[in-house]
Structure 1
Amino acid sequence: MIGVEEIKKKALSKYTTFLESVVNNENIFPLIISGNKKPSKSTKEFDREIRELLSNSKEQKGYGFTIAYETRKSKILGTQSFPSKFSFESEIDYLKFLNKTKEVALFREIKKETFTEFSELKTWMLKYPKKIISNKENWDAILKVCRYFKKNPIPNLYVRELPIQVHTKFIERHKGIIKDLLDILIEDYVNFDASKFEERFNLKFSEPLIRFRVLDSKISEKVFSGISDLSIPVSQFRSLKLKIKRIIIVENKVNLYNILTLPNTENTIVIFGKGYSVSNLKNIEWFNDKEILYWGDIDAQGFEILSQVRSYYPQVQSVLMDTNTFTKFYENDLGTISLVKNELNLTKEEGLLYNRLKAENLRLEQEKIPHGYVINFFNNL
């Protein structure tokens, strides 16, 4: 037979529905819990379960569930009145049973205050009432943040510079719920393509740096006052629009240093891609008409990163990532097992080598290729 704990579990499963009814000013009572369950196998056990149900019922406690019975015959118990359903006749009965009275009172206060200022959040509150419950102790501070952004949708400040009377780390710790609300409240000003909170809501942030070397001394002198090795924020790098012809992207620092020893090379820059951080190079418009070369490790991950770069710029060509180079310099090193299953954006030859490297977990790191061989290769491009 169903017990008190199972009744509570089923009642809790309806809590979200109840909170939705509060948002909508609806009455969902009486709330019915089904009691259809096989009876106990002994009279003694049946009597014990009935006593437990009665002692926790509204009849005994003054609140909680009311028991409805149906009379039927059982082979073991004979003709008995079996509990058939349990109903919470009122909100008071339901909330006192679940010990949620104070929580719901606070939920109603939050709803009233929020609707008064931000009626456009009703649909969201109806859909995510449990998010409100999870953040109930912080709701006043959350509304302070909402008020500020509603008046200042383009702050252009760092998060901790915002003149909001909340803890300095409050926004950083509650970005998820604040993002949900601001997406609605300042919809016309949200950068929906940006996943980073600061970028999404027009805040300053510490950007990743792009390190690159200008191999053409004339461009270095003309644009950067003779400085050839630079690291600048992504947004500034995007705005450079350098008048060059060729971009070389290398995966790690060792090969960045290798290429730095190249003699003056016209209309060319080399960029340190930092492995998977190469994602920082996407959406750079002035890359679109440039020749782009990618040089990574000859292992599964190297080709996966190559595929990633090629998804940004289809014209990307790999260099020093071929079977001949691998065969010539491979030193029996093992790589990192790849779990990638999707098809990569590789040429036929690259794909064949990738499949072998992945299947056998092989690796030739860039730095294992002799410096002289590298310099000779790039000098003859």
Structure 2
Amino acid sequence: MHEPDHVLDKIRARYRNIWRDRLLLGADTAFLFALAAPSAQMIARDSDTVSRWMREWRTWSAAHPTARLRGGSRRTVVGTQEVFTHLDLPTIDDLVSLDQDLADHWLRANARWARLQKLPGGAAEERLRPHLQQIVELDDADFEILLGATTWFTENPRSGLTIRQVPVPGMHTKWLSRHRRLVLACLSIPDLGGDIDQNDEELGQDNLDPLGLKALPVHVDVILADPVDRALVGGLRHLSAPLPEIDALPVHPETVLIVENKESAYLVPDRPRTVVVHSLGNHLNVLDEISWLDGARHVYWGDLDRAGFTLLSRARARMPHLASVLMDQTTLEEYKALAVEDGTRVDTPEPNLIAFEAAALAELLTAHGTYLRLEQERLPSAFVLDQLNRAMEGHGSGQVRY
């Protein structure tokens, strides 16, 4: 015999399965839920329990007048007994009225679907269907931005603007990164772009093309460690410029040091025929576009954490002869006291780490099942400079790969 709470769980599950169809198709049919009514033998064997169950359902029914209890007869040794067999709910409105969360969800879904249908060109039901739950869960401000963005992109399909130039209040790069698939669904545009890292400051051109937008030029940060190279660009040591301008620099380095973080890169002293590229983050694709990298020795220095090794592996996938420095088990063990706990989600590295790098990565896992992070900036400067010099000279003590 099902209690009211058990049937309510069934009602919630049924709603989750059908609400999209009811919203999109508009058809409304009755719902019927079996109560697992007691048998004649059960009534004869335990009439007190059956009586209590009947009273519970009568009380519940009185508090929910839109729900209808259906009865049936059971022939027992003490005569015919009437029991409740099913719960009838004539419409989906009757169904959601039994649970406030369902009622709120259904009300919001209907209100938002009505507004989506009023967008220019209407709303493509099948393309929006997989995204309806996310749309309903948006807060009011984000939903208003979604409507504004859809309207604007419909009216301006090939604007050629950057995201920040689009005159939709509240829409910015982070918002579009999180909600780009919803905008495309509302526009009935297939999503052919790649996965988006929501921590990126800028979306790539492939992600912006379907919306008719253009990406900002990718800026690359470099340090010209050779005074001779600096003389060619007015004495500038630190440069941050769009990728084509960096590629056009009149330099021919023998060594290129790729450093994960800016503060650490600033430690690198002057050195002949050396250029430092830093602060790329996940934008490692720029390494394919800088022609003066060809023919140079490539050395990578990243944080001693899981993200650092993932970035190293991705850079090495583009530069097969990429060496690493200060990313070894010896450095980690010597300065482990400076490490902190690392709870961030990190992608698995490419399968190209070499033995000492893989050993250092494994060492990051503690006995408690947590991970460590030893950031570049925490290492003593004198130690860092010694190791960098040895690495760039090509005889780092087993820490460099060529």
**Same fold by TM (over 0.5)?**
yes
1:269 is aligned, of 237, 255, 275, to 275
Distance 1:334 1:73, change over 3 A: farther
1:131-280 correspondence runs (5 A)? 131-135=134-138, 137=140, 139=143, 142-153=146-157, 154=159, 156-159=161-164, 162-164=166-168, 166=169, 168=170, 176-177=178-179, 179-183=181-185, 185=187, 187=189, 191-192=193-194, 194-196=196-198, 199=203, 200-201=207-208, 210-222=220-232, 224-232=233-241, 236-237=242-243, 240-241=246-247, 242=249, 244-245=252-253, 246-251=255-260, 256-262=265-271, 265-266=272-273, 268-273=274-279, 278-280=281-283
1:54 is aligned, of 58, 61, 65, to 58
- Offset, 1:149: 1.6
Aligned to 1:121: 124
Query: 1:338-363: CA deviations, max 9, x gaps?
Result: 89887752234544565567689898
Residue pair 1:248, 1:295 contacting (<8 A) in 2 also = yes
Aligned to 1:89: 90
% identical equivalent positions: 17
Residue pair 1:121, 1:184 contacting (<8 A) in 2 also = yes
Residue pair 2:181, 2:191 contacting (<8 A) in 1 also = no
Aligned to 2:399: none
Distance 1:229 1:314, change over 3 A: same
Query: 1:140-166: CA deviations, max 9, x gaps?
Result: 55322210122224462454x5433x5
CA distance in 2, matches of 1:380, 1:136: 56
Distance 1:90 1:290, change over 3 A: same
Distance 1:207 1:62, change over 3 A: same
CA distance in 2, matches of 1:300, 1:226: 37
- Offset, 1:15: 1.9
CA distance in 2, matches of 1:157, 1:254: 30
- Offset, 1:53: 1.7
- Offset, 1:289: 3.6
**Helix, strand or coil for the counterpart of 1:63?**
coil
Aligned to 2:4: 4
CA distance in 2, matches of 1:377, 1:92: 71
CA distance in 2, matches of 1:376, 1:129: 57
- Offset, 1:217: 3.9
1:282 and 2:285 aligned: yes
Distance 1:219 1:79, change over 3 A: farther
Runs (5+) with no aligned partner, structure 2: 396-402
CA distance in 2, matches of 1:136, 1:362: 35
- Offset, 1:279: 2.1
Residue pair 2:162, 2:216 contacting (<8 A) in 1 also = no
Distance 1:248 1:9, change over 3 A: same
CA distance in 2, matches of 1:171, 1:300: 27
Counterpart amino acid of residue 89 in structure 2 = F
Residue pair 1:35, 1:86 contacting (<8 A) in 2 also = yes
- Offset, 1:227: 0.9
Distance 1:279 1:69, change over 3 A: same
- Offset, 1:121: 2.7
- Offset, 1:107: 4.1
Query: 1:89-126: CA deviations, max 9, x gaps?
Result: 33453344446678656644543443353445311443
Aligned to 1:347: 354
Distance 1:254 1:181, change over 3 A: closer
CA distance in 2, matches of 1:174, 1:260: 40
**Helix, strand or coil for the counterpart of 2:300?**
strand
Distance 1:93 1:206, change over 3 A: same
CA distance in 2, matches of 1:332, 1:107: 52
1:316 and 2:322 aligned: yes
Distance 1:365 1:309, change over 3 A: farther
- When structure 1 is superposed on structure 2, of 14-23 and 355-364 the one drifting more is 355-364
Supply the RMSD in Å over aligned alpha carbons. 4.7
Query: 1:16-36: CA deviations, max 9, x gaps?
Result: 303422312333x22121212
2:313 is aligned, of 296, 300, 307, to 307
Distance 1:118 1:3, change over 3 A: farther
1:111 is aligned, of 107, 110, 113, to 113
Residue pair 2:160, 2:213 contacting (<8 A) in 1 also = yes
- Offset, 1:316: 1.1
1:25-44 correspondence runs (5 A)? 25-27=26-28, 29-36=29-36, 43-44=47-48
Counterpart amino acid of residue 9 in structure 2 = K
Residue pair 1:31, 1:89 contacting (<8 A) in 2 also = yes
Corresponding pairs, count: 362
CA distance in 2, matches of 1:172, 1:302: 23
CA distance in 2, matches of 1:254, 1:176: 29
**Helix, strand or coil for the counterpart of 1:93?**
helix
- Offset, 1:301: 6.9
CA distance in 2, matches of 1:90, 1:322: 66
Counterpart amino acid of residue 88 in structure 1 = L
CA distance in 2, matches of 1:192, 1:343: 18
**Helix, strand or coil for the counterpart of 1:279?**
coil
TM-score with structure 1 setting the length: 0.70
Counterpart amino acid of residue 114 in structure 1 = L
